[in-house]
Structure 1
């Protein structure tokens, strides 16, 4: 299992670095090893299936991504239950995939399921909960449901500021998303303020990484 876990970690690392063909090779190797050692329905196997689904999604290989994520979801529901946090991770990932495919009602259903599960399991202020709130805000914006979008994005922003600080990348991404929303509403001074804040925060973070 040490070899399998090393391959899994390398696959995730390559994925984070954008080295997607190398990531796929490592994750496929990991999946085959886990299927042989643990079985196809073991939660650890299903985690790798989930990660491959995300990788295919990042490569815009959306049918393959959906097949992997659906396999992961069905397996996790059976092995861990529908409300386990690992199951909810895959539910949220399917929401992201459906949004990318333009299947917005299905995306909303997945996000809402993930949100309710995270709130129950982790609380309303956990970062996983806030990530899903942010995703719902962006989805509502795509649907033209701008007041609902603003409510969600403001909620995500306040939670991130409290949990992670004003200059964390997740906080700044939500600031940027609010800038886009205000721009779409024609609220240009507010949009500019959000864009300026996001830019300044990103510059500060990059500057800090240079001297750390």
Structure 2
């Protein structure tokens, strides 16, 4: 019986007589990579990025010009849209002014400012900014420096934040006279009053308008 050579698989050879292999396995792998694996990885990577992406908050140091108001600005950045940005100081809401991605607020008290940004995927980022540069304390009249002599009063006053408002210093004596200092040494802080009555009340403000008062009397 004659052999049927038509059942043999066809083979191709190049010009040098080398067998040329088929590309079916390579093309199948390429189709798998381009048609399934790579799109799968990219799509799931984007989904994961969307799910875990949280905003970032970059805040500047608080600044003040008068020690009564502090300005705080911060920038909110996110790869996905931000749903809300809020701020509060010691639990009290703070009004924000927005300009692009930058937010600004004006504070009138010291405390812990909390800024919270929420993205549309509900991922939240909070930042805490300590504000302590506002002057909320009165000037200090040094009791140990007080000299109550015959017809005069001397004392030293200081303020470590905004500074003493030297022009604000005055006194009222027991006779009802409104008195201004006879001498002020702004370097040492020594203040001198002439005193004709037997008692006097002194008033001193700092540049943030905090006021201290002290009473002195001749024994």
Give the alignment's TM-score, normalised by structure 2: 0.22
Q: Which has the higher helix share?
A: 1
**Structure number having the greater strand percentage:** 2
Larger Rg: 2
Taking structure 1 as the reference length, the TM-score comes to: 0.22
